[in-house]
Amino acid sequence: CWFYPLLAPYSRGTGVFIDVGRTWVFQRREEAHIAFGKLGPQRDDSMWALTALRHGIDTVQLMRGPFRMPELLVASHACTNQSETIGVCPPMPLYTGPEGNSPCVCDAHSHVLRCAHVYRHGRPTKAEGLRFPTGNGS
């Protein structure tokens, strides 16, 4: 599972977190390519998740990807054993909240990764709909 996490200066995100577990961090893709190449033949970056998994690594973080944005590769069986494309909700536990430790139920109806039923700026999400009081006391 590949992600483009929003880190500074791109830090405006959806407030969804994952546990990166045991991770390898590289400044650039070139460094990762060299390191993975030392662990065995690598056709391209599509092999990185399988190689990391074999070495007990949960995630690979690239601080600067090809679009100058960070990348996160989750090397789990749930991500590497997919027979079809994963939608917006990845097959892993998600978290939210100020400390990133509250459970998050992914909003499968969204076009971006976010938690369902999370209020934004004091308003319900689109999935909840806007409910206004009728004013008739009922």
pLDDT of residue 8: 57
Q: pLDDT (tens digit, 9 = 90+) per residue, 69-113?
A: 888 999 988 888 877 777 888 899 999 988 888 999 999 888 888
Say what the pTM is.
0.74
Contact indicator for 18, 74 with CB cutoff of 8 Å: yes
Residue 80, SS3 per DSSP: helix
- State the residue for tokens 């546990």: 19
More confident residue, 67 or 116: 116
pLDDT number for residue 106: 92
Cα gap 105→117, rounded to integer Å: 8
The string of pLDDT tens digits covering residues 30-58 is: 899 999 999 888 777 878 999 999 999 99
